[in-house]
């Protein structure tokens, strides 16, 4: 019994905030084009062969135009009304951006349908001095930026949703009071499908309290199952979860500022503090981060972010700060930054730094080399740092392969033959040769207008093309030393034939 009571208490601890954007798309458009703000206008899209109103501006709504109305009817009500083509998904995109903006108030924000947001604000309001100032801050900020919004805060998602859209007493429902709050509301407040609403309408039910206390069996018999489920969700006897836009990162630090930060020094201090907090925690848990995102929330609702990656898990705050420092100048504080956050989306277990008492030179697993690599990649971009491993191919262009990670070890050994040039041309260059006898090194060749006469040569080394990978001629490679003792790597492509000139190429230079 005690256990059950405790479980119930835990559930009660949740708080949700539902925000309803009454005219989301039109508000946004009016923000973008201030000229529209003073005009009634609608947005319309083609639906089953006719134009239908998809969203209505505040002023047009006042005159009786509704969503879903054929455009022709709207034109009858307001002749010469402004009509703007709607795009599908616009509302969802806007809501996503707004949900991201809301992450300054809570880490768990979700898009709710096509006209609302849902925030899990459990444990957040006290940071703003209580629920009322918190609620006011969010709603007034949104209203101030031009959105016609209503909000509701309650213990359950259902109740918060209902109060935001249909409540008319107080938007803040005290913990455990959702029953009293939703009973006077119309059944629509329960998020019901049109069929259920229709059925309730036929029974003459206009308020939730008219049916809420009836036995469940009776309700199941007469109405779709959904009705009972939604009612229970709103009352909190059935669990409901929200799907956060961005699942909360457990390694997340935030730093709100009393005064907006404008200077580079200020940003640096903020970053250093966040890194210090995060790294202390990581070090304690024996973990390191592989990537980190530093976000700056600006006063004008603009979000700026920097991202870094490391080759090995790191909890070295000094090093991570160095990586960010290169990019810090790209942040524009404009009117000021009011909140800094630092996420670490990728966390891996890190080996503790071990002091080497003695021992040979450092290997690739050395932490300082990994940090050097981070700095270089950070500056030059990925792909600028390469390491080669031997590959089991004879074809010269394929005899080496790029290592994918710093920890990659060769799976075959390097062949220590003398027959590979030390410097090669990216693409073999054609040369003119004098070769009197087939399958014999040329007497001389001409490259870039210089004549190289043979002093010595070795070969041929025939390398077949790997037919399972590509088509083409084989190559006969020669080591060729000219009259001055310079050494070249040349090859003939394909067979020697009498009827056509065989092609010779210079591929590289020997040491």
Partner 1 sequence: MPDNKQDIIQQLRRDILPLQGYKPPSAGYEVDLGLGPIEQAFPNGAFPTGAIHDFLTLDQEQLAATTAFLAAILSRMMERGGIAVWIGADSSTFAPGLAYYNVDPDRIIFVAPTTSKTILWTLEESLRCDRFIAVLVEITDLSFVESRRLQLVVEQSRVTGFIIRHQPRRKNIVASVAQWRITALPTQSQGERPGRGFPRWHVELLKVRNRQPVACDVEWTGTHLYPIPPKQIDSRSEGKTG
3-state secondary structure of 74: helix
Find the shortest distance in angstroms from Cβ 379 to partner 1. Answer: 7
Q: Can residue 375 be called a binding residue for partner 1 (CB under 8 A)? A: yes
- Cβ closest to partner 1, residue 104 vs residue 420: 420
Find the shortest distance in angstroms from Cβ 358 to partner 1. Answer: 8
Find the shortest distance in angstroms from Cβ 442 to partner 1. Answer: 16
Q: What is the DSSP string of 453-494?
A: EEEEEEEEEEE---TTT-----EEEEEEEETTS-EEEEEEES
Distance separating alpha carbons of residues 231 and 190, to the nearest angstrom:
6
Segment interacting with partner 1, rule: CB under 8 A, options 279-287, 327-335, 341-349, 381-389: 381-389
Find the shortest distance in angstroms from Cβ 402 to partner 1. Answer: 10
The dihedral through the CA atoms of 81, 87, 89, 90 has a sign that is negative
- Cβ closest to partner 1, residue 293 vs residue 369: 369
Distance separating alpha carbons of residues 340 and 104, to the nearest angstrom:
9
The dihedral through the CA atoms of 98, 104, 105, 106 has a sign that is positive
Distance separating alpha carbons of residues 315 and 318, to the nearest angstrom:
9
Distance separating alpha carbons of residues 175 and 226, to the nearest angstrom:
25
- Cβ closest to partner 1, residue 12 vs residue 362: 362
Structure tokens at 198: 């229709």
Q: Give the footprint of partner 1 on residues 430-469 (CB under 8 A).
A: 455-458
Helix axes 264-285, 317-325, angle to 10 degrees: 140
Q: Which of 9, 330, 354, 384 binds partner 1 (CB under 8 A)?
A: 384
Task: Evaluate whether 142 touches 136 at the Cβ level (below 8 Å).
Answer: no
CB atoms within 10 A of CB 260: 16
Q: Which of 204, 349, 363, 382 binds partner 1 (CB under 8 A)?
A: 363
Structure tokens at 509: 């230079």
Q: Can residue 93 be called a binding residue for partner 1 (CB under 8 A)? A: no
Task: Evaluate whether 251 touches 344 at the Cβ level (below 8 Å).
Answer: yes
Q: Can residue 427 be called a binding residue for partner 1 (CB under 8 A)? A: no
- Cβ closest to partner 1, residue 330 vs residue 497: 330
Chain Cα centroid distance, residue 229 = 35
Q: Can residue 404 be called a binding residue for partner 1 (CB under 8 A)? A: no
Segment interacting with partner 1, rule: CB under 8 A, options 68-76, 225-233, 477-485, 490-498: 477-485
> Strand 116-120 vs strand 287-298: parallel, antiparallel, or unpaired?
unpaired
Q: Which of 426, 436, 449, 499 binds partner 1 (CB under 8 A)?
A: 426
Distance separating alpha carbons of residues 299 and 303, to the nearest angstrom:
9
Find the shortest distance in angstroms from Cβ 391 to partner 1. Answer: 9
Q: Which of 352, 485, 498, 499 binds partner 1 (CB under 8 A)?
A: 485
Q: Can residue 101 be called a binding residue for partner 1 (CB under 8 A)? A: no
Segment interacting with partner 1, rule: CB under 8 A, options 33-41, 179-187, 259-267, 365-373: 365-373
Segment interacting with partner 1, rule: CB under 8 A, options 217-225, 244-252, 296-304, 406-414: 406-414
- Cβ closest to partner 1, residue 16 vs residue 479: 479
Q: Which of 361, 382, 427, 500 binds partner 1 (CB under 8 A)?
A: 361
CB atoms within 10 A of CB 305: 12
- Cβ closest to partner 1, residue 237 vs residue 415: 415
Question: Residues interacting with partner 1, by CB under 8 A?
Answer: 360-364, 366, 368-369, 372-373, 375-376, 379-380, 384-390, 396, 399-400, 403, 409-410, 414-418, 420-426, 455-458, 479, 481, 484-487, 508-511
């Amino acid at each position: 019994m005690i256990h059950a009571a405790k479980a119930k208490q835990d559930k009660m601890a949740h708080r949700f905030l539902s925000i309803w954007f009454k005219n989301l798309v039109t508000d946004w458009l009016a923000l973008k084009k201030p000229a529209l703000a003073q005009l009634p206008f609608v947005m319309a899209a083609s639906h089953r062969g006719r134009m239908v109103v998809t969203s209505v501006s505040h002023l047009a709504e006042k005159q009786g135009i509704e969503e879903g109305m054929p455009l022709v009817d709207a034109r009858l009500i307001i002749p010469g009304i402004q009509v703007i083509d709607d795009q599908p998904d616009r509302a969802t995109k806007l809501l996503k951006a707004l949900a991201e903006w809301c992450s300054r108030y809570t880490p768990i924000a979700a898009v709710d349908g096509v006209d609302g947001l849902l925030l899990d604000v459990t444990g957040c309001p006290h940071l703003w001095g209580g629920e009322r100032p918190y609620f006011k801050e969010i709603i007034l900020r949104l209203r101030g930026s031009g959105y016609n919004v209503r909000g509701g805060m309650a213990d359950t998602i259902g109740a918060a949703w209902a109060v935001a859209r249909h409540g008319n007493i107080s938007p803040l429902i005290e913990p455990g009071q959702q029953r009293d709050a939703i009973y006077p509301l119309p059944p629509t407040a329960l998020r019901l499908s049109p069929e259920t609403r229709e059925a309730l309408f036929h029974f003459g039910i206009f308020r939730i309290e008219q049916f809420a206390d009836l036995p469940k069996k009776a309700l199941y018999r007469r109405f779709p199952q959904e009705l009972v489920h939604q009612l229970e969700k709103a009352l909190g006897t059935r669990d409901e979860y929200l799907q956060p836009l961005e699942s909360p990162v457990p390694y997340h630090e935030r730093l709100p500022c009393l005064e907006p930060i404008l200077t580079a020094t200020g940003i640096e201090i903020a970053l250093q503090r966040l890194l210090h907090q995060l790294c202390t925690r990581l070090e304690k848990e024996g973990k390191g981060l592989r990537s980190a995102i530093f976000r700056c929330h600006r006063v004008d609702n603009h979000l700026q972010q920097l991202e870094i990656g490391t080759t090995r898990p790191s909890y070295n705050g000094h090093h991570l700060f160095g990586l960010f420092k290169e990019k810090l100048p790209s942040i524009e504080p404009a009117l000021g930054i009011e909140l800094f956050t630092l996420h670490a989306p990728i966390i891996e277990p890190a080996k503790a730094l071990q002091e080497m008492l003695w021992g040979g030179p450092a290997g690739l697993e050395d932490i300082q080399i990994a940090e050097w690599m981070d700095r270089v990649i950070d500056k030059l971009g990925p792909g600028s740092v390469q390491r080669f491993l031997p590959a089991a191919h004879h074809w010269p262009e394929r005899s080496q392969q790029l290592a994918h990670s710093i920890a990659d070890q060769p799976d075959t050994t390097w062949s220590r033959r003398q027959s590979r040039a030390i410097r090669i041309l990216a693409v073999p260059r054609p040369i003119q040769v004098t070769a009197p006898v087939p399958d014999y090194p040329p007497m001389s060749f001409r490259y870039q207008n210089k004549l190289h006469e043979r002093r010595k040569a070795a070969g041929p080394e025939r390398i077949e093309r790997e037919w399972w990978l590509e088509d083409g001629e084989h190559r006969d490679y020669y080591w060729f030393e000219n009259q001055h003792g310079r050494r070249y790597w040349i090859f003939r492509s394909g067979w020697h034939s009498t009827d056509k000139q065989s092609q010779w190429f210079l591929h590289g230079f020997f040491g």
